[in-house]
Amino acid sequence: MKASGSEAVSRRVQLVAPTIQMLPVRTPTLPPATHTNTFLVGTGEAVLVEPATPYREEQDAMADWVQGARLRGVEPIAILATHHHPDHVGGAMALRERLQLPLWAHAMTAHRLDGIVEVDRLIQDGERIELEGPTPTSLTAVHTPGHAPGHLCFIDEASGMMIAGDMVASVGTIIVEPTDGDMLLYLESLRTMSSLEPTALLPAHGDVIRDPQAILSFYIEHRMMREGKVLEALRARGVPSRPRHLVASAYDDTPKALWPLALGSIEAHLIKLEREGRISKQGDRWAPLV
């Protein structure tokens, strides 16, 4: 006998903390990831974090999930977006209308979603979202720019867990590219996350990260390693260069199939190095200092 929609969804839901449920939904994200984790936080009043999926059948799953929660007395009051990338807000408009819930996000996310979907309330850095219920719940928003300008993480005060969006992942890596990204801010945000000492990280892609300090340290060390290779490659060429001139040396430990994605990260590193006064820019190329 085929399971009902709600039964099928319940098998996918994970209780990751007493007040936090997680449902991975299929999204058009970058491989090796195939899903984006969505979260329902609260035991009475609740919030739905990451309106991620553009796919109707997955939106149906999220709607079934919320309906099941409502039958148990858990009533979402809003949808929260960590940032504006398509695999995180692909279902924002549909779910906002279908669930009749307002969409909350950072001002910079709202700016990038202007004309796509309306953001009903702006969330500021440090804002506490209080949720009443059998177990009162409080989420604190942390502005963590770098991957995206308006990126927010959310700390569940009771468990100490941090919903981390796209700042880290347990599958694949995080891309920081020059259009939305800022390598200097990204590294600062990782250090901010570390300083808050979360008990675990709930990433948008992959499993719960149970050793947050180890993964945050790894991410910082990995980025600094890569930056060193970019700078070394630029100095070895000795002439003004574009990212495509440096990728073979800076990413010699990475499969060539990934080099097109690496070009954006190289440019983000070059922009950071230029801002720090360690290299110069000449037209559309960067040059080592003499």
204 and 234 share a domain?
Answer: no
Same domain for 141 and 243?
no
Model confidence, pTM: 0.94
Q: How confident is the model at residue 203 (pLDDT cuts 50, 70, 90)?
A: very high
Please check whether residues 120 and 245 belong to one and the same domain.
no
Distance CA 1, CA 216 (A): 45
In one-letter notation, the amino acid at residue 33 is: A
For residues 53 and 193, state if they share a domain.
Answer: yes
Residues 6 or more apart from 177 whose CB is under 8 A from it? Answer: 264, 265, 267, 268
- For residues 93 and 9, membership in a common domain is answered with yes
Judge whether residue 219 has pLDDT over 90.
yes
Same domain, yes or no: 273 and 170 = no
16 CA to centre of own chain: 18
Cis peptide before 32 (omega within 30 of 0): yes
Question: What does the pLDDT read at residue 5?
Answer: 59
* 214-221 long-range contacts, CB within 8 A, separation 24+: 215/168, 215/170, 216/168, 216/190, 216/191, 219/168, 219/174, 219/190, 220/187, 220/190, 220/191, 220/194
Q: Are residues 125 and 248 in the same domain?
A: no
Q: Could you tell me if 27 and 153 lie in one domain?
A: yes
Amino acid at 5: G
Provide DSSP, 53-99.
---HHHHHHHHHHHHHHHHTT-EEEEEE-S---HHHHTTHHHHHHHH
**What is the residue range of 58's domain?**
5-210
pLDDT band with cut points at 50, 70 and 90 for residue 173: confident
Contacts of 255 (CB under 8 A, 6+ apart): none
Residue 81 domain flag: yes
Structure tokens at 56: 């109707």
Report the distance separating Cα 168 and Cα 290, nearest Å: 36
In a domain, 228, yes or no: yes
107 plus 246 within the same structural domain: no
Residue where a domain terminates, one of 154, 188, 210? 210
Is 252 found in the same domain as 150?
A: no
Indicate whether 240 and 281 sit together in one domain. Answer: yes
Residues 119 and 168 in one domain: yes
DSSP string, 233-257: HHHHH-S-B-HHHHHHHHTTTS-GG
Question: Does residue 215 sit within a domain?
Answer: no
What confidence score (pLDDT) does residue 1 get? 37
pLDDT at 238: 94
How does pLDDT run across 46-92, given as a tens digit for each residue?
999 999 999 999 999 999 999 999 999 999 999 999 999 999 999 99
Q: What is the pLDDT of residue 2?
A: 43
> Where a domain ends, among 210, 233, 250?
210
